[in-house]
Amino acid sequence: MRGRRALIERAALVERALAVVNGVPAGTGSAGAGRAVGPSPLRADAWLAAAAALLAVALGMSVEDGRHLDALGWTLLLAAQVPLVWRRRSPLLALLAVVLCVVPYHGLDYTHSAAVPVAMIALYTVAANGTARRTVLTGASVVGVTLFVNALENPHQVAEILRISGWIVSVLLLGGYIRVHRQYIASALERAERAERTREEEARRRVAEERLRIARDLHDLLAHSITLIGVQTSVAAHVLAADPDRLDRTAVAKALDDIADTCRTARGELRTTLEVLREEDAQEGRGPLPGLHGLPDLAETARAAGAKVDLAVDAVEVPAAVGAAAYRIVQEALTNAVRHGGREGLTVRVEVCDGEDALRVRVTDDGAGVGEGTPGFGLVGMRERARSVGGTVDAGPLPGEGYEVSAVLPMRRDET
């Protein structure tokens, strides 16, 4: 993340440094849309035209490589600087306007060096803002005309002709290089920002998944524990109210001990779950996942609530995620059976077996089913648990009476 931000900052600095000479104002383009950096392009080009005019005046007054400038010479020389103000908006038109002023200027044999900067700036702008094809065509045209004119006027000065052509080609190559470099910077900015957005979206997705996981864990834990505590409290209240004269202190103490054990277990699991929110690294904060080894404790807790639980586990090694999903599905199924069984002596059978490339979970009871109350998140949570490992869950009443929850959880032996 820091590397991408550093790349964005470095590219932005380079983009600003090239803003005046590359023909595109800083902060524009696909990678920098909406970010206005520095003065407007028109104002910057106006300052550039003024600087070029001052340089031309200085060269015209100090260099003697032609006729001394008179009123017409000064007019042509200064007029050639004006099109630079619009060089970014219309590079070719600006070059044409400069040529229309410079050609008669050189034709009248005024100080030639004074008109060189404005011509080079116009050529550079065309190369830096156009395509490679347009740059080649422009360069070929300018070089061809220059060679033709100089060959007619000075056929014996081959070195001078080559020197002029070399400067023209060099300026065009520089403009082409700046154009390619600017495109690379824009592409790098776009890639970096796209990667940053992708990383942020991935982080948000992981946060959402982690919040959903914690919500499922809290629902499974609290729904299971609170349901069992309610049942155990009802048992204790029934023992106290059944026959006060012959109070069964042993039964009351056992019911209260069961409630205390359930509270301690719930508190421990709740602490393990909430540690995720306090750890910088979520993997370190999760602690060991529940698995098939915890099923006997779930069965014992349900027995303490008054249900008869028959547990059969025929699986040894399963992936941690699959084992956790199976644990939560059995936990929710037992909770629903105890809560909605509606009868004393409720019998629940839990079967967990290792089938062909899948762990099969089946929980059946002989109670009244889920009833007609307000539906909760239990069945939804079981299906989400199964989907998290690529499995499915089916739940529904049995013929006659009773309820069944069955799950198929695919296993990948190479994952742990």
CB 168 within 8 A of CB 146: yes
SS3 369: coil
**pLDDT exceeds cutoff 70 at 360:** yes
282 — pLDDT class (breaks 50, 70, 90): very low
**7 contact partners, CB below 8 Å, separation of at least 6:** 188, 192
Alpha carbon separation from 88 to 22, 49, 180 (Å, rounded): 9, 12, 17
Instruction: Please check the confidence at residue 69 and state whether its pLDDT lies above 70.
Output: yes
Q: Find out whether 305 and 228 touch, Cβ atoms under 8 Å.
A: yes
> So what's the pLDDT on residue 245?
63
What average pLDDT does range 159-177 have in this prediction?
79
Give the C-alpha distances (Å, rounded to integers) separating 364 from 36, 160, 367: 68, 101, 9
Q: What percent of the chain has pLDDT over 70?
A: 71
C-alpha torsion angle, residues 344, 349, 350, 356 (rounded to 10): -160
Backbone phi and psi for residue 373, each to the nearest 5 degrees, phi listed first: -70, 180
**Three-state DSSP class for residue 385:** helix
> Does 277 or 190 have the greater pLDDT score?
190
Maximum average pLDDT range among 143-147, 156-160, 340-344: 143-147
**Which range is least confidently modeled, 63-72, 245-254, 276-285, 362-371?**
276-285
Q: Which residue has the tokens 């190479």?
A: 414
Q: Across all residues in the chain, what is the average pLDDT?
A: 76
Q: What confidence score (pLDDT) does residue 224 get?
A: 66
Q: What is the CA radius of gyration of the chain?
A: 42
Residue, of 45 and 23, whose pLDDT is higher? 45
Q: Which residues lie across from 348 on neighbouring strands?
A: 309, 365
Q: 243 — phi, psi (to 5°)?
A: -150, 85
**CA–CA gap between residue 340 and residue 370 (Å, rounded):** 5
Question: pLDDT band at 25, cuts 50/70/90?
Answer: very low
The mean-pLDDT minimum among 176-190, 199-213, 218-232 falls in: 218-232
User: Is pLDDT larger for residue 32 or for residue 336?
Assistant: 336
Report strand pairing: 347-354 vs 308-314: parallel
- Give yes or no for residue 366 having a pLDDT over 60: yes
Which has more pLDDT, 137 or 368? Answer: 137
pLDDT tens, 368-407?
665 554 455 677 878 888 888 888 999 888 887 888 999 9
CA dihedral 71→75→76→78, nearest 10 degrees, is: 130
pLDDT at 15 over 70: no
Work out the end-to-end distance of the chain between its first and last CA atoms, rounded to an integer number of angstroms: 29
pLDDT tier, 188 (very low <50, low <70, confident <90, very high otherwise): confident
DSSP string, 92-121: HHHHHHHHHHHHHHHHTTB-GGGGHHHHHH
Contact 407, 389 (CB under 8 A): no
Residue 39 has a pLDDT of: 59
Which pLDDT tens digit goes with each residue over 331-344?
A: 888 888 887 776 66
Interatomic CA distance for residues 142 and 314, integer angstroms: 88
Q: Look at residue 283 in the predicted model and tell me its pLDDT.
A: 47
Q: Confirm if 18 and 178 have CB atoms less than 8 A apart.
A: yes
Question: In which band, very low, low, confident or very high, does the pLDDT at 158 lie, cut at 50, 70 and 90?
Answer: low
Give residue 31's pLDDT. 40
Residue 266 and residue 227 in contact, taking contact as beta carbons nearer than 8 Å: no
**pLDDT for residue 168:** 80
Task: At 306, list the tokens.
Answer: 């008054």
